[in-house]
Chains A and B, each alone.
Chain A
Amino acid sequence: MTPAGSLLLAKDLRKSYGSTPALDGAEFSIHPGEVVAVMGPSGSGKSTLLHCLAGIVTPDSGSILYNGRELSSMKDAERSALRRSEFGFVFQFGQLVPELTCTENVALPLRLTGVRRKEAERTALSWMERLEVEDLGNKRPGEVSGGQGQRVAVARSLVTSPRVVFADEPTGALDSLNGERVMQLLTEAARSTNAAVVLVTHEARVAAYSDREVVVRDGKSRDMMLEHSV
């Protein structure tokens, strides 16, 4: 595989929050269907890298190519549209809207892209079946366990059939068994739809579900895939 075939390709990313550099020359690449773990100690800039890659945060310098298009030159509205339709997200906690039922939460990204409620909820339900949480449909996030909630979140990240799923410590708040199950379901579902997964984690056992890893240390990351191809 070469960088040319990358779905998402980032080079020399720099980003500071105030005077603190979060990213200081990071690189990254991912191919369709690939699961790449982003590893590193806390505070190393993993999450910032993910936010930049997903177009949530604009880097101070460097380039991010998604499907050949430069992310940082897109308008905010375009990037939002991209996130709605082609990206999916799973976070560690606090991501489900507490007032909406689980089904409504899963259907939310579809509804944001303008799909009608009935249809969106039908699609949502089929994804919930795949993640074995179809029974929770009418419950609210406050009424389900952490593992179940995280699976609902995974279902939500996949419901739009995204090209890239961004998962930031998706098992961070779960015990081993639940964490493993969530990872298994996430990677299987992603592989079956040929979605790429950017998996930020500091846990080796979670990273072991990936195809390869990129390590971030002090805001710097080296992507072996890019080095070997040079």
Chain B
Amino acid sequence: MSIGHTLLGLLESGPRHGYDLKRAFDEKFGHDRPLHYGQVYSTMSRLLKNGLVEVDGVEAGGGPERKRYAITEAGITDVEAWLKQPEKPEPYLQSTLYTKVVLALLTGRSAGDLLDTQRAEHLRLMRILTDRKRRGDLSDQLICDHALFHLEADLRWLELTAARLDQLATEVRA
């Protein structure tokens, strides 16, 4: 999962302070693993360096957590590109996909399209595996089947998420 893209995406709805960003991230994606503040600081400085964010203002008292960041045009383009790019189908993809879906919803982009693109990508790989299985021997078949079942599980998750997008949107925007 890309923390940088996630924080950028969170900034898209408006400038935020560093501690605000951390709290928003923890609330929406952190769950049982809250983000360490040092990670926010290093990520933001990288983004600042790449011109994807800019400092919008500093509160009295100084310190990096008091800086207010805003996303730049380049930053928005970067988020856009990241969301559009399907993830390489691989196991345990959910957290990234989930983040992407939530961000898409938060930033008013089409989460459905995102899921469709991802599904197509999954299916493309499944076709390749199915084809390989058809030509291969039993061990090939078994290995391919393993991968196929995992991919299928992901796909089911995609389907399920797609079916619950409306529900998720209201929750996320709440």
User: Do A and B touch (CB < 8 Å)?
Assistant: yes
Apart from A205-B149, A208-B130, A208-B148, what are 16 other A-B pairs with CB-CB below 8 Å? Answer: A41-B162, A202-B159, A203-B152, A204-B122, A204-B126, A204-B151, A204-B156, A205-B130, A205-B148, A207-B126, A208-B127, A209-B130, A210-B127, A215-B116, A215-B119, A224-B120
Instruction: State A215–B123 Cα separation when bound (angstroms).
Output: 12
Give chain B residues whose Cβ lies under 8 Å from the Cβ of A204: 122-123, 126, 151-152, 155-156
B123 in contact with A207 (CB, 8 Å): yes
Mask of A18-62 contacts with B, CB within 8 angstroms, 1/0: 000000000000000000000001000000000000000000000
CB distance from B137 to the nearest CB of A (A): 15
Please count how many residues in chain A sit with their CB below 8 Å of the partner chain's CB atoms: 15
Could you tell me the dominant secondary structure of chain B's interface residues?
Answer: helix
- Judge whether B168 is part of the interface by a CB distance below 8 angstroms: no
Give chain B residues whose Cβ lies under 8 Å from the Cβ of A224: 120
Instruction: State A211–B120 Cα separation when bound (angstroms).
Output: 12
Give chain A residues whose Cβ lies under 8 Å from the Cβ of B127: 208, 210-211
Give chain B residues whose Cβ lies under 8 Å from the Cβ of A215: 116, 119
- Judge whether B169 is part of the interface by a CB distance below 8 angstroms: no
A208 in contact with B162 (CB, 8 Å): no
- Judge whether A184 is part of the interface by a CB distance below 8 angstroms: yes
Instruction: State A208–B125 Cα separation when bound (angstroms).
Output: 9
Give chain A residues whose Cβ lies under 8 Å from the Cβ of B155: 204
21 A-B pairs in the complex with CB atoms less than 8 angstroms apart: A184-B134, A203-B152, A204-B123, A204-B151, A204-B152, A204-B155, A205-B126, A205-B130, A205-B152, A207-B123, A207-B126, A208-B123, A208-B126, A208-B129, A208-B130, A208-B148, A213-B120, A215-B116, A215-B119, A217-B162, A224-B120
